[in-house]
Amino acid sequence: MDRADAAVKTDPSTIFLKDYTPPTHLIDTIELTVRLNDDVTTVSSRLVGRRNPASGSGPADLYLDGEDQELVSLTLDGRTLEKGDWRQKPEGIVVPGIAGDFTLEVEGRIKPQDNTRLEGLYKAGGMYCTQCEAEGFRRITYFPDRPDVMAVYTVRIEADKARYPVLLSNGNRIETGDLEEGRHYAVWHDPFRKPAYLFAMVAGDLMVDRDSFTTRSGREVALEIYVEPGNEGRTGHAMDSLKRSMAWDEEVYGFEYDLDIFMIVAVSSFNMGAMENKGLNIFNDKFILADLSTATDADFQRIEAIVAHEYFHNWTGNRITCRDWFQLSLKEGLTVFRDQEFSADTHDRGVKRVGDVRLLRAAQFPEDGGPTAHPVRPDSYIEINNFYTVTVYEKGAEVVRMIHSLLGAEAYRKGIDLYVERHDGQAVTCDDFVAAMQDASGIDLTRFKRWYAQAGTPRVSADWRYDEAARTLTLDLAQTTDPTPGQPDKQPVVIPLRTALIGENGQRLPLTVDGEESGDETVLVLDEAERRVTFSDVPKGAVPSLLRGFSAPVKLDAAWSDADLGFLAATDDDPFSRWEALQTLATRAILAMVEAKRAGRPMSLDAAVVSAVRDGLEDARLEPAFLAELLALPGESMLGQAMDVWHVDAVHEAREDAIWTLGDTLFDTWLALYDRLSGETAADDLSTAAMGRRALRNRALQFLVSSGRPEGLARAAAQVQAAASMTDVMSALAALNDTDCPERTEALQAFHDRWQDNPLVLDKWFTLEASSALPGTLDRVKELQSHPRFDPKNPNRIRALVGGFTMGNPVRFHASDGSGYAFLADEVLRIDQLNPQIASRLCQPLVRWRRFDGERAKAMTGALRRIVEQPTLSKDVFEIASKGLS
């Protein structure tokens, strides 16, 4: 797509990592006063700064970012600046010729009540709150809004006392008082230097849940969670998760909290999950509010993980931050790895790993293989908000995980200690992180760093030969990475492959690798295009178990026969590898069904899958939570990814048929399992074991319903009615959701009627309606856009209904008449006028058009073209849609 065709009014420019230069000036302190008013809010700031020695000496231009505000006055060292003393830029101003120390005072006016982008200071419901990452602070006041400018903040907030009794900002509250006309103020001081993106403030009429945590050095930290009235009593799980996160971070990383107070505020309109502002995290209320009647087990686990993630940023992100936004994975990849490990330690490690890999494959692999592919450390962007991606987060976490496995836990921890010793209080790069890991361990990570620079998912092939006479097994490994936009030639990366050999009796065998005894599990490092490894003294019948624990984010193509996979699915002691073996077997079988269907042949599920599932069901050693994962068939998009062209309808039908076969053939087993697990677990038991039993019982229910037999439907309908827990209600509704039957209609209606006053629970209903594979779903989605409880501006509502359809309903979204794509284009254009970040995220499914047949691809590119032709398009959507067409 030629940029000229796009007809955007502004020509958004690209920012490059190679153009980075240090800031000309540093800001040591900022005193900010925000006077909140219904019509116009005034913001005054007083910056004390100096010339940055790292950038040079003598007079230099001071650039201040600023957007969407009225600049009232500028005062430099006590002198009011006139028009000619500074220059206006499209997205900021320049004050020229500042040589030494200076004090700059800025007065401006903003209108948070009109801020629909939800960046900067905005109103959500009846409260004011902020979101400054990545570049929201410039929408509050003129400031060098870049993460390598770190200042000490003192913030005074003034507001009407009756309507906004609670006034919060980062750090410690140092003063409060009353003002005239029923107003009041609070002053907050944060002693830690921080970049502007970590600034936060809140004003509202809020309820608070208080608790405390004693750090290991004996300091008492006040913990406060603020919610809107009506939501009190639903913060217990978040508070408990917070305390456990604080203890885990001390124990595993030696990180102790550093202020006397830690606050969380839950807001109802928020662009993403949550934000780690220093001492004052702001959360999407979806990831705080939970109680037994409204939250599923998955909700409880997600809340715990996000609370932990944001808390963990206090050290990995806040104390040590990013030099520039290209380094985003420095804080995000590392912090995701940390939250994944926290959850693994808290629950079942194997199940957690399977879930993380599922997400990586479902979302990151397609990104890495499509037109918006970018490295973990991107080299350019148009709009940085588009780079809060699964690549930067989840692949970034895999990169840190590989460092952890190459170094071992002990050296990794030494690396973390060295990283903190060197860089506490600084804004640094991914190179600095890797250097600390390398220096602390003595392991050369030069080549490993290619993971940060090179986009694309490496493919690893593994082939082997057994020599019976010599008792050797020779393993040939090779890697390649397909070209990605801007990177036609790829180099080999460093791939740690955790490997074992499983003997005929299902046990791990002792390993001799290239003549060296290596225990019964080893990490083979593939850092060239090819590598040959010889295992000696190998008995006949041994099967290699490769990429155990998913030790690298690669696509593995290994020469397993179906019989090998069946064997590993029944015996491998590595949970990921065992799960993977059954997934691979099932994928092969379902793809064979797709082929048969497309060739007009009868299709049926390979008996090997049925017997692998039966073996799993009969294996008494397996934890229920793991068994529930093992028995889940690969999703439609995973199957689509395994094909050159994703034949949406054939994949849907083949998968449905496979589930029906398993439901029907093993009906009595599912029924016995379901009935045995019923009544075994109290609905209010939130232990990991109880969650696992519920997951397995609901897996059985899914197969029972899919069999189409009346006993299955009856059990699902009864489970909805019993409404023992939200997990059981939602699982039963999901099991019924693709079947056109009175049980479904009645159950959905009853759910709606019961929960229509609870927006977060009603979102679950919107998503169920939007993700049903039944025909007519798109019309239903359009109808629900006029539902009285559907707020078309609220990100959670949009994600539930529109996202539920476009991301959660492949067969209807990809309808061959293009209706789903046209609907999405309309929505992207509508939402872009209000909230570009949400619009840009929503647009993503359209850029994957190369994966589909000609007719669909044409309709998808047509929709993208209609989007880029919109003259007032945001940078956010422009970047995604235009890259999607390129």
Among 25, 309, 578, 744, binds ligand B3K (CB under 6 A): 309
Structure tokens at 601: 């042949």
Question: Which of 133, 224, 276, 310 is flagged as catalytic?
Answer: 310
Give the helix/strand (H/E) hosting 160. strand 151-160
Q: How far is the CB of 309 from Zn ion (least distance, A)?
A: 6
282 binds ligand B3K (CB under 6 A): no
| 800 in Cβ contact with 764 (< 8 Å) | yes
Q: How far is the CB of 806 from Zn ion (least distance, A)?
A: 25
**Nearest-angstrom CA–CA distance, 47 and 49:** 6
Q: Which does 288 bind (CB under 5 to 8 A by kind): ligand B3K, Zn ion, none?
A: none
SS3 at position 415: helix
**Nearest-angstrom CA–CA distance, 131 and 407:** 37
385 binds ligand B3K (CB under 6 A): yes
Which residue has tokens 């380094």? 327
Which range in 243-251, 260-268, 305-313, 515-523 contacts ligand B3K by CB under 6 A?
A: 305-313
Which residue has tokens 């929408």? 139
Query: Which CB sits closer to ligand B3K, 319 or 693?
Result: 319
Query: Which CB sits closer to ligand B3K, 221 or 334?
Result: 334
275 binds ligand B3K (CB under 6 A): yes
Q: Which amino acid appears at position 477 of this protein?
A: L
Footprint on residues 695-714 left by ligand B3K (CB under 6 A):
none
Among 365, 388, 464, 703, binds ligand B3K (CB under 6 A): 388
**Nearest-angstrom CA–CA distance, 55 and 22:** 6
Q: Which amino acid appears at position 596 of this protein?
A: A
Name the residue among 339, 327, 306 with its Cα closest to residue 426.
Answer: 327
310 binds ligand B3K (CB under 6 A): yes
DSSP code for 803: I
Q: How far is the CB of 310 from Zn ion (least distance, A)?
A: 7
Burial of 478 (0-12, 13-18, 19+ CB in 10 A): middle
Q: How far is the CB of 386 from ligand B3K (least distance, A)?
A: 9
Which range in 81-89, 217-225, 309-317, 401-409 contacts ligand B3K by CB under 6 A?
A: 309-317
**Nearest-angstrom CA–CA distance, 319 and 426:** 7
Q: In 529-568, at which residue ranges do the beta strands (DSSP E only) sit?
A: 530-535, 543-545, 555-558
Query: Which CB sits closer to ligand B3K, 119 or 299?
Result: 119
Which range in 271-279, 525-533, 644-652, 794-802 contacts ligand B3K by CB under 6 A?
A: 271-279
Query: Which CB sits closer to ligand B3K, 67 or 133?
Result: 133
- Per-residue interface string for the shown chain with Zn ion, residues 325-344, x marking contact by CB under 5 A: -------x--x---------
Query: Which CB sits closer to ligand B3K, 259 or 275?
Result: 275
Which range in 38-46, 61-69, 267-275, 675-683 contacts ligand B3K by CB under 6 A?
A: 267-275
- Per-residue interface string for the shown chain with ligand B3K, residues 175-214, x marking contact by CB under 6 A: ----------------------------------------
Query: Which CB sits closer to Zn ion, 262 or 805?
Result: 262
Binding residue count for ligand B3K, defined by CB under 6 A:
12
Q: Which amino acid appears at position 223 of this protein?
A: L
276 binds ligand B3K (CB under 6 A): yes
157 binds ligand B3K (CB under 6 A): no
Q: How far is the CB of 133 from ligand B3K (least distance, A)?
A: 4
Among 31, 65, 67, 133, binds ligand B3K (CB under 6 A): 133
Q: How far is the CB of 20 from ligand B3K (least distance, A)?
A: 20
Q: Which residues pair with 30 in a beta bridge?
A: 47, 153
Q: How far is the CB of 840 from Zn ion (least distance, A)?
A: 19
Q: Which does 876 bind (CB under 5 to 8 A by kind): ligand B3K, Zn ion, none?
A: none
For residue 42, give every residue at least 6 positions away whose Cβ sits within 8 Å of its Cβ, in sequence order, or none.
Answer: 33, 34, 35, 72, 107, 108, 109
- What backbone phi and psi angles, to 5 degrees, belong to 830? -65, -50
**Nearest-angstrom CA–CA distance, 338 and 249:** 9
Q: What angle do CA 427, 428, 429 make, to 5 degrees?
A: 145
- What backbone phi and psi angles, to 5 degrees, belong to 394? -80, -45
383 binds ligand B3K (CB under 6 A): no
Burial of 448 (0-12, 13-18, 19+ CB in 10 A): buried
Question: Which of left, alpha, beta for 863 (phi over 0: left; psi -120 to 50: alpha)?
Answer: alpha
Q: How far is the CB of 384 from ligand B3K (least distance, A)?
A: 8
**Nearest-angstrom CA–CA distance, 552 and 794:** 38
Q: How far is the CB of 292 from ligand B3K (least distance, A)?
A: 27
Which residue has tokens 């990592």? 17
Query: Which CB sits closer to ligand B3K, 310 or 348?
Result: 310
Query: Which CB sits closer to ligand B3K, 351 or 838?
Result: 838
272 binds ligand B3K (CB under 6 A): yes
Which range in 83-91, 148-156, 308-316, 607-615 contacts ligand B3K by CB under 6 A?
A: 308-316
List helix spans (H) across 442-499.
450-453
629 binds ligand B3K (CB under 6 A): no
Question: Which of left, alpha, beta for 611 (phi over 0: left; psi -120 to 50: alpha)?
Answer: alpha
Structure tokens at 2: 């030629």
By DSSP bridging, strand 459-467 and strand 555-558 are: parallel
**Nearest-angstrom CA–CA distance, 705 and 719:** 12
Q: Which does 606 bind (CB under 5 to 8 A by kind): ligand B3K, Zn ion, none?
A: none
Q: Which does 134 bind (CB under 5 to 8 A by kind): Zn ion, ligand B3K, none?
A: ligand B3K
Q: Which does 556 bind (CB under 5 to 8 A by kind): ligand B3K, Zn ion, none?
A: none
Which residue has tokens 């093993």? 666
Which range in 268-276, 564-572, 636-644, 718-726 contacts ligand B3K by CB under 6 A?
A: 268-276
Among 145, 249, 332, 367, binds ligand B3K (CB under 6 A): 332
Name the residue among 721, 722, 789, 720 with its Cα closest to residue 760.
Answer: 789
Structure tokens at 276: 């780690």
Query: Which CB sits closer to ligand B3K, 329 or 438?
Result: 329
SS3 at position 33: strand
Q: Which amino acid appears at position 10 of this protein?
A: T
Q: How far is the CB of 274 from ligand B3K (least distance, A)?
A: 6
Which range in 274-282, 288-296, 408-416, 475-483 contacts ligand B3K by CB under 6 A?
A: 274-282
Q: Which does 524 bind (CB under 5 to 8 A by kind): ligand B3K, Zn ion, none?
A: none
Q: How far is the CB of 272 from ligand B3K (least distance, A)?
A: 5
Q: Which does 385 bind (CB under 5 to 8 A by kind): Zn ion, ligand B3K, none?
A: ligand B3K
Q: Which amino acid appears at position 8 of this protein?
A: V
Q: Which amino acid appears at position 365 of this protein?
A: F
Q: What angle do CA 211, 252, 409 make, to 5 degrees?
A: 165
Overall size of the chain counted in residues: 886
Q: How far is the CB of 837 from ligand B3K (least distance, A)?
A: 6
**Nearest-angstrom CA–CA distance, 846 and 835:** 18
User: For residue 180, how many C-alpha atoms fall within 13 Å in the half-sphere facing its CB?
Assistant: 0
Instruction: Name the residue number minimizing CB distance to ligand B3K.
Output: 133
Q: Which does 423 bind (CB under 5 to 8 A by kind): Zn ion, ligand B3K, none?
A: none
Active site residue 310: yes
Query: Which CB sits closer to ligand B3K, 385 or 641?
Result: 385
Give the helix/strand (H/E) hosting 280. strand 280-284
Q: How many CB atoms lie within 10 A of CB 233?
A: 11
Binding positions for ligand B3K, rule: CB under 6 A:
133-134, 272, 274-276, 309-310, 313, 332, 385, 388
- Catalogue the active-site residues: 310
Interface with Zn ion by CB under 5 A: which residues? 332, 335
